[in-house]
Amino acid sequence: MNRAKEALRVCEDICRFFYDQPSWTRQWKDIRHRLTAVLVPLDCGKALEARDIGKDVGKRTTFSESRRFSAGDVFRANAQRAKESLRVLEECAKLSDQGAAESLKKLRYRLYALEQKVLKGTHGRDED
């Protein structure tokens, strides 16, 4: 959940501060807020309590994660991270709440479309 929301926020802020696109910014923000609304009933505060940063086997940064050359690189990496995270959340929600799983699937497809719109709209920009 944290991974998805953080990635969505990065994409939102890239659209806001680098691309200066209010519409894209609102759409990323809306997906982030809708994700929160879907997950709140499922989580009940468990994610924060369960997080153990000291023992997290996946916290190490890979070489590819440490290299970004432009705002476009940052955007693409975080859009991918958000899509992957939404898919994980969707699959896990299938274990307990089919309605939440379906909502997460719809958010994931909205994300695919928005990512494509942003990438088409920024093609050829100097910062990319």
50 versus 21: the higher-pLDDT residue is 21
Q: Reduce the DSSP state of residue 8 to 3 states and report it.
A: helix
pLDDT for the residue numbered 40: 86
Q: Is the pLDDT of residue 46 over 50?
A: yes
DSSP secondary structure string for all residues of 45-100: THHHHH--GGG-TT-SPPTGGG---SHHHHHHHHHHHHHHHHHHHHHHHTTT-HHH
pLDDT for the residue numbered 128: 44
Q: Is residue 86 a contact partner of residue 111, using CB atoms and an 8 Å limit?
A: yes
pLDDT tens digit sequence for 67-111: 789 999 999 999 999 999 999 999 999 999 999 999 999 999 999
- Kindly report the backbone phi and psi dihedral angles of residue 36, in degrees, each rounded to the nearest multiple of 5, phi listed first: -60, -45
Percent of the chain with pLDDT over 70: 78
Confidence of residue 123 (pLDDT cuts 50, 70, 90): confident
State the pTM of this model: 0.84
Q: Is the pLDDT of residue 54 over 90?
A: no
Q: In angstroms, rounded to a whole number, what is the distance separating the alpha carbons of residues 102 and 22?
A: 28
